[in-house]
Structure 1
Amino acid sequence: MAMATDGQLQLKIRDGQPENMFRVILEEPEGGAKFDESTDGGDETCILTVFIKTDVVIRDPIDKMRSTLAVRWGKAKTGNANWGRQFKDAVFDVYGDDDDLDEDEERTVGQKAYAWSFHVIQLPWKIVFAFIPPTDYCGGWVCFCFSLIFIGLVTAIIGDVAAIFGCCLGIKAMGTAITFVALGTSLPDTFASKTAAQQDPHADASVGNVTGSNSVNVFLGLGMPWTIGAIYWAAGANDEWRRKFGPGTEPHLKIPEAFREGAFIVQAGDLAFSVTVFSICAVLCVAILAARRRLFGGELGGPLPAKIVSAVLMISLWLVYIGMSFWKMETS
Structure 2
Amino acid sequence: GQQEKKITIHVIDDNQWEPDETFFVKLSLPEGEETRTKLGSKTVALVTIINDDEPGYIEFEETINLVKESVGKAEIKVVRINGADGKVSVHYRTKDIDAVGTKDYEPIDTELVFEHGEISKIIAIPIINDLEAEKDESFAVELYDPTGGAQIGKHPRTVVTIINDDDYKTMANKMASLVQVDIDKLSVTKTSWGQQFRDAMNVNGGDLETAKFGHYVGHSLSFFWKVLFAFVPPTSIAGGWLTFFVSLLFIAILTAVVGDVAAIFGCLVGLKDSITAISFVALGTSLPDTFASMIAAKNSKTADDAIGNVTGSNSVNVFLGLGLPWLVAAIYWESKVR
Q: TM-score range by the shorter chain?
A: 0.3 to 0.5
Q: Between Structure 1 and Structure 2, which shows a larger proportion of strand residues? A: 2
Higher RCO structure (Cα 8 Å, ≥6 apart): 2
Q: Between Structure 1 and Structure 2, which shows a larger proportion of helix residues? A: 1
TM-score by length of 1: 0.40
TM-score by length of 2: 0.39
